Structure 1
Amino acid sequence: MSDDFEFSESSAATFDIKAFLYKTLSYWKLFVLCIGVGLFIVYQQNIRTQQSYKLATQISVEDDKNPLFTSNTSLTFNWGGVSGKVKTIITTLQSRSHHEKVVDNLQFYISYLKQARFRKDDIYKAAPFAISLLPNTSQLLNKPVRVTIIDDKTFELGLDFENMVVSTQNFTTKEKGTADVPLGAFSQRFAFGDPIVLPFLNGTIHFKKDRKIIPGESYFIEFQNYDAVVAKYKNKLWINNPMNSSILNLEMIDVNTQKIEDYLNETVRVLSEDQLNRKNQFVTNTINFIDEQLERVKTQLTLNADSLNNYRQNNKIFNLDEESLQINDKLSKFEIEKDNTNRQLAYYSNLKTYLETSERFTELPAPSIAGVSDGNILANISKLNALSVQKSKYESTVRSDAAIFGDINRQMEGLKAVLLENISSATNGLRREMEFINSKIAETNSKIRKLPKDQQHMLNIERQYALSEQTYNVFLAKRGEADIIKSASVSDILVIDPAKDTGAQPIDLKLSSRYVFAVVGGFLPPLLLAFLVTFFDTRLHGPQNLEQVSRIPLLGVIGKSTMDNNLVVHNSPKSAIAESFRAIRSSLQYMYKRKGKEGTKIIMVTSSVSGEGKTFCSINLATVFALSGKKTVLVGLDLRKPKIFGDFNLNNDIGVTNYLIGHKTLEEVTFTSEVENLDVITSGPIPPNPSELLIGEPMDTLIEELKKQYDYIILDTPPVALVADALELLEYADASMYVVRQDYTKKGMLNLINDKYKKKELSNISFLYNDYDQKGKYGYGFGYGYGSYGYGSYGNGYHENHKPKFSFVDRLGRWFKL
């Protein structure tokens, strides 16, 4: 057989839970090592990592109506509703523009750091100073600038430049650039409050009044890329809308709780301010329009008052008669009505032009300033303004090709068409009313023309003054109404629970918890290794394993020997191993008696491979029979790898080989041993054709001659898995002993003998379980040094002389069994 031959695994092999548990316990050193490594790694992480915390704030999206808004108030319109607002608010909170405002307000692109043992910690407001940047100047990016406090008046800036060009950013315009700097260490002193003007840093550092001066203390200021900071906090903000209600929970995680608290509260403040501004946008536009009209009318009113006073003084006319006053009052009334009508016509004309030429409708003044009271027009303008505001908000957060824009545009176009029809109808009605007013004015003017010339001119000046005064008073009243309504408006964002650090706990694993995970993690590698070793381990680790893989009976179990010599039964007759061989002797005698075997008994001892203790069992089995008073001979038929001569202090120059080739007689190759009644026939020189010698006629003659002289003949044969010699010798044996060794013999090695036993090619064969160790039977069997898995190393000495190889598992096992 070739030494590359490999046996298949036994189909009867199953996973042994008990073996797995014992194997796991045997790796206690590896458990200690892995757990120690895990604890060390966690310890290093704990001392190097700054803990993260989570804070939250809760807001409600309301639909607050203005308490001063009534059916007679047309300046503002409360549009919308909660259902649409929540989605808009969430979209706004997720927008880049919103976070840009918050980052700008808090200046979170500036970090204040302090050196800890293994890192620079973000200390934020705990820094004893703050820097105010000079507008429109550039600052060094992503490189901490050291600030060392000298005393209560001075400090020192320092850093090391590795390159002569550094990146900078202007936080006013947000433009990036570069600056030339000196290579190497930079250090310069400044006074607190004095401006710092450097190529890479421009600002003023102020020491906080409530902080204690500690000379020599060092801190760091670091400027971070503005867009990167905005993106960082935009991604950190978590928005939770439970059950799609009007409640929003805003959460954020960071290493500094004060930063989280300020960012969340500023986020809500900016959101609330933005929503209020959008809500008041209509009335704000109206106030601006009224202010422009008041300024214009005020100028006209002043001119008319001066003209009236000058005319009275120059013409000495201070009072008009009763008839003139009545005519003037009547005409003034008609002029005011005409002015109101013209104002409405002008508003409708401007509104029509605005609707036909503009795509945004957020700058329309309230219709009430022009005296417009048409309910349809008021309602449609309100809806159009609301849709325009909503579209403007979506444009900053939603893609331009989103379906929502198409829906909003369709609604706006429909409202525009309805408004244009309403404007046309209202304009026609106002024109008819204007014709009626003009006719009344003409009729009244005809009566005035009958008065004296000086009184006519006086009446004309007074009418102009009264008209300007009336218009001014109207705009002034509207201005006051608009201010009251604006001041009474509240944001739709209600803060239920502001962000506050009330003793936030780290969201990272606590130190104790981390160590628990380290211990658990340390258990896993050895546990996995034990499982894999057990799962892929095909060696026999106990007699019960043998019963699982073969039907061949087990004749006896032999304990582990610690003696250097194989003559255990002779040298230590009271040992447990000696008793084991006596038990085997009794079993064999019982078997022979039961079968009625008389005369000489021939017992063949073999095994699967070298190293299983075949020679050890042969010697001690022969010894135990000899000590019982039976004439016994031990024949070494392992012609390829002779062994038995060394234990008896014999020379192997003469042996069976010499007899079989006819060079020596039986008496010449037979030696008396130190054991009474035990003779030994060694193997002799290694022949070139051992198989042919063992199957020839001289072998038959040898057996027949031995039968005449001895009661028991013990044949020590070669391993059956490596050579075929032992199988050829089976015909001489009355009983065959097949030796297997604990933690050494592989289950697959028994396939050959099992197959022959199943086919009834063998009879009277039994197993001897050798090297049994109670402690090691479930996985303590490493350390024998007999080689790795596979038959190549097991065949050492039978084919070629080579050093045994050890597998990684063997080496690992050997180390842990020391």
Structure 2
Amino acid sequence: MLDTKDFTFFESQSNFDFKGFFLKIIGYWKWFVLSFIITFLIAYNVNIRKEKIYGMESSIVVKDENNPFFTANTSLVFNWGGVSDKVQTVITTLKSRSHNELVVDNLEYYINYEVKGKYYFEDVYGSVPFYVKIDKNKGQLLNTPIKIKFLSSNQYELSVDFAEYPSGKLIHYIDNSQSDLGTLNDVFVKKYKINEEVNLPFLTLNLHLNPDAINFKGKEFYLRFSDFNGTVAKYKEIDVSADTKAASVITLQLQGANKYRLVKYLNTTVSMLKKIQLDGKNQFATNTINFIDSTLLQMEGQIKEAENELKDFRRGKNVFQLEAGGEKLTDKVSEFDITKDELERKSKYLNLLNTYLLKNNDFSKLPAPSVAGIDDPNILINVSKLIQLSTQRAELGYSVKSNKMFTEFDSEMEALKKVLLQNIISAKTSLNVDMAIVNRNISALEGEISKLPEQQQELVKITRKYDLKDNLYSTFLQKRSEAEIVKAANISDIDFIDPAKDIGGGLRGPKTSINYILAILIGFLVPFLIVFLITLLDNNINTADDIQKLTKIPLIGVIGKRNTLNNLSVFEKPKSPLAESFRAIRSSLQFMYKKQKVEGSKILMLTSSVSGEGKTFCSINLATVFALSEKKTVIVGLDLRKPRIFGDFNIDNITGVVNYLIGQKTLEEVTQSTHIPYLDLITSGPIPPNPAELLMGGAMDDLIEELKLKYDYIILDTPPVGLVADALELAKYADATIYVTRQGFTKKGMLAVVNEKHKRGELNNISVLLNGFQNKNKYGYGYGYGYGYGYGAYGESYHDEVVEEKGLKKILNKFRKKNS
């Protein structure tokens, strides 16, 4: 039948020891210091090796700049729409590929000027004493440093290390195409004079000095030609955003390694946009002027011909007499002729507009309707909107790839076209009515003129023709003058609030403080995790707390690490803290014996879980403590399988317990005296084939009885209870049992075996001893638990413990002893 003691499900389980873990972290402080040193060195090297990044910014405002000369008769101003539309258009344009291509090409930012730093090539654009002009039709070496070393004020050395930088690519900036150069493995070196043309298979340029260039002799610089599209892509990353509080204000931000380059790019990109916007604003006026100029050029011949015809007719005639009869009729008919011409010009423009709407999609080249005298507000507004949409669509075509947006533009433009076509029909209907009235009036006047004499009729005819041409010419001259005024008075809707400027600072990275903070975190986290894993995976007994959590068996004491070369630590250093630890255990044992009312000879059995836990060491030193107090003590070596207790006393193991148990020797014959007063030793003797059977025999009872008559204390050094059953056979003789564990060696699970034996009653009056204890946390003095509990601090001043020398001092002392 199973005993309830067989079940260990309710064995007290240890929880995570936070205090012990904290102390262990303190014990590994050197790991943390080393980790911090390494991470800080890494952070420092990262910081000094990273190129510094700066940020520059500028701000602009987008306004509705109305032309002061704008009137209903000079509707020649291009309008981008409301301010919100302008802002979005400006933002889109500044980030567009086409606009940035113009800026990069204008500034030639694909040519890099550098100096070789300790860790990287530094961008020194704006501070080099020279500049280069390249032939865009010729290929330039791509992405390869070209060294420029100034030998004198008018000579420099150009070199390329193809062995270190094997590029093999040429770029042609005329069309941004690339071609293969081939493989070159040599170092090219050649001297040139300033302003002399460099014409090489991989390089075509002229180097010129800046006017303010000084102190450049002997200095080295590098040229590097970058891919044009790659350079544009980098500057397309410009941050352009509208101010949330002021919708018409736009902020531009750009980051890079060279502040001068950033400032110049920001100001240039805005200046170019201002020019483009102003050109767009003047587009109507320019188109109108071009239209009028072409018309006037045709009319100059016609008006000159009419003028000559009038002069020829008047020659040799009494003009005053001829004019007297038809002057009033001439003035009236001329007025109607001018009105008719205006109507015809309006009709022609409407016909042109109608045809253009039906056959074209780009309306940005249309002249303003006012050039033909059209003042219909519907037509004026709709033509302006149509041209505005057409221009916006063309601008977005360079940067926006969304078909949905273009579809919206096309739908809106199509709707405007339909409205305009209806407006044209209505306007033409009104014009036809007006034209019919004018024609009737002209016909009536022509009927009256036909009644005049023939020469007067001819004069009226020629005068009508001349007056019409002259009036039309004057009208176009007036329109041209108005367009010029409008064009001259136009100003850009974009203006600087704060141009980009280097006023110091602007550093964006590397974030050195962040790197050092990361170094602190990583420097702490790495050893912390290692210590945590060591603690988590450590299944050894390390502290007295571990024992108290794993078993209810009392802890009798804690023994420090052996401080001598042999196991006779108490005898050789009787005043050491280690010796006092054994004395504390002796006191605890005497208290136990007294409590159990054990009289006469006392038997103490020492066992352990496995070999190597210091059971023999503890047996010898406990026996020494009893012997030093002038108590007759004997150590009985009962580990018949692995005897080892005799070596420290320089005693042989020829005869021993085995010889007594098999009846070969008497007690006196197997007992050997040691050099320690009052301490005898009985070794195990030769290894028998049946150790357990020998220990179970009656001879063992006789041995114990004889020993009791002769000795005050009998120390039984037994085999490990976790490996063999011998100790269990001997437990019945012991008044007290000490189960020896060793720090960092005994597994926690081994205590389950002792717990089971104790619950079954197989091991009575048992205590646990922690051997080989070192305060690995370096928290306190050498033996933290000292003599039983807490006596170790006193030992620092009372005992003759020799402080172990460390480091360089230890090496020097060894060297002195060797040579002495």
Q: TM-score, normalised by structure 1?
A: 0.87
SS at match of 1:346: helix
- The range that moved more, 530-539 or 204-213, is 530-539
Deviation at 1:466, TM superposition (A): 1.8
In structure 2, the partner of 1:288 is 290
Cα separation, 1, equivalents of 2:707 and 2:355: 134
Cα separation, 1, equivalents of 2:20 and 2:270: 64
Deviation at 1:337, TM superposition (A): 1.1
In structure 2, the partner of 1:788 is none
Q: Is the 8 Å Cα contact of residues 541 and 776 (structure 1) preserved in structure 2?
A: no
In structure 2, the partner of 1:595 is 596
2:93 maps to amino acid: T
Deviation at 1:473, TM superposition (A): 1.6
In structure 1, the partner of 2:795 is none
In structure 2, the partner of 1:751 is 752
Cα separation, 2, equivalents of 1:434 and 1:779: 118
Deviation at 1:346, TM superposition (A): 0.7
Q: Deviations over 1:191-211 (max 9, x none)?
A: 322333322222322111211
- 1:566 has 2:558 as partner: no
1:669 maps to amino acid: V
In structure 1, the partner of 2:673 is 672
Change (3 A) 1:772 1:341: same
Q: Is the 8 Å Cα contact of residues 23 and 778 (structure 1) preserved in structure 2?
A: no
- 1:37 has 2:35 as partner: no
- The range that moved more, 501-510 or 688-697, is 688-697
In structure 1, the partner of 2:281 is 279
Deviation at 1:582, TM superposition (A): 2.8
Cα separation, 1, equivalents of 2:131 and 2:781: 68
In structure 2, the partner of 1:116 is 117
Change (3 A) 1:388 1:755: farther
In structure 2, the partner of 1:536 is 537
Cα separation, 2, equivalents of 1:298 and 1:33: 95
Deviation at 1:499, TM superposition (A): 1.0
Q: Is the 8 Å Cα contact of residues 181 and 199 (structure 1) preserved in structure 2?
A: no
Change (3 A) 1:350 1:774: closer
Cα separation, 2, equivalents of 1:129 and 1:234: 27
- 1:458 has 2:456 as partner: no
In structure 1, the partner of 2:482 is 481
- 1:380 has 2:382 as partner: yes
SS at match of 1:644: coil
In structure 1, the partner of 2:210 is 208
In structure 1, the partner of 2:148 is 147
Change (3 A) 1:619 1:136: same
1:153 maps to amino acid: N
Q: TM-score, normalised by structure 2?
A: 0.87
Q: Is the 8 Å Cα contact of residues 145 and 159 (structure 1) preserved in structure 2?
A: yes
Q: Map of 1:439-518 to 2, 5 A cutoff?
A: 439-509=440-510, 518=519
Q: Deviations over 1:43-80 (max 9, x none)?
A: 44444333111111122333333333345543336452
Q: Is the 8 Å Cα contact of residues 24 and 776 (structure 2) preserved in structure 1?
A: no
In structure 2, the partner of 1:800 is none
Deviation at 1:449, TM superposition (A): 3.1
Deviation at 1:342, TM superposition (A): 0.8
Change (3 A) 1:306 1:126: farther
Deviation at 1:179, TM superposition (A): 4.0
1:201 maps to amino acid: L
Cα separation, 2, equivalents of 1:262 and 1:238: 16
Cα separation, 1, equivalents of 2:33 and 2:630: 56
In structure 2, the partner of 1:694 is 695
Q: Is the 8 Å Cα contact of residues 630 and 677 (structure 1) preserved in structure 2?
A: yes
SS at match of 1:372: coil
Deviation at 1:766, TM superposition (A): 0.7
Change (3 A) 1:569 1:122: closer
- The range that moved more, 332-341 or 430-439, is 430-439
Deviation at 1:226, TM superposition (A): 0.3
In structure 1, the partner of 2:817 is none
Q: Is the 8 Å Cα contact of residues 542 and 777 (structure 1) preserved in structure 2?
A: no
2:493 maps to amino acid: D
- The range that moved more, 494-503 or 627-636, is 627-636
SS at match of 1:321: helix
Cα separation, 2, equivalents of 1:512 and 1:698: 80
- 1:718 has 2:719 as partner: yes
Q: Deviations over 1:166-187 (max 9, x none)?
A: 3222222223223468752323
1:484 maps to amino acid: I
Cα separation, 1, equivalents of 2:402 and 2:337: 51
Cα separation, 2, equivalents of 1:280 and 1:420: 26
In structure 1, the partner of 2:765 is 764
Change (3 A) 1:687 1:344: farther
User: Unpaired runs of 5+ in structure 2?
Assistant: 1-7, 784-820
- The range that moved more, 686-695 or 361-370, is 686-695
In structure 2, the partner of 1:362 is 364
Cα separation, 2, equivalents of 1:496 and 1:400: 32
Deviation at 1:340, TM superposition (A): 0.7
User: Unpaired runs of 5+ in structure 1?
Assistant: 1-6, 783-818
Cα separation, 1, equivalents of 2:319 and 2:693: 163
In structure 1, the partner of 2:410 is 409
SS at match of 1:60: strand
Deviation at 1:234, TM superposition (A): 1.3
SS at match of 2:509: coil
Cα separation, 2, equivalents of 1:680 and 1:241: 97
Cα separation, 2, equivalents of 1:681 and 1:93: 101
Indicate which of 318, 322, 333 corresponds to 1:331: 333
Indicate which of 228, 244, 254 corresponds to 2:230: 228
Identity of aligned residues (%): 48
Change (3 A) 1:298 1:496: same
Q: Is the 8 Å Cα contact of residues 23 and 779 (structure 1) preserved in structure 2?
A: no
Deviation at 1:500, TM superposition (A): 0.8
1:111 maps to amino acid: N
Cα separation, 1, equivalents of 2:26 and 2:555: 29
Q: Is the 8 Å Cα contact of residues 77 and 284 (structure 2) preserved in structure 1?
A: yes
- The range that moved more, 600-609 or 448-457, is 448-457
- The range that moved more, 729-738 or 626-635, is 626-635
Deviation at 1:21, TM superposition (A): 4.4
Q: Deviations over 1:410-468 (max 9, x none)?
A: 22222222211111111112112222222222222233333444443333333222212
Q: Map of 1:725-736 to 2, 5 A cutoff?
A: 725-736=726-737
SS at match of 1:124: coil
Deviation at 1:236, TM superposition (A): 4.8
Q: Is the 8 Å Cα contact of residues 143 and 167 (structure 2) preserved in structure 1?
A: no
SS at match of 2:188: strand
- The range that moved more, 683-692 or 100-109, is 683-692
2:362 maps to amino acid: R
Cα separation, 1, equivalents of 2:487 and 2:677: 125
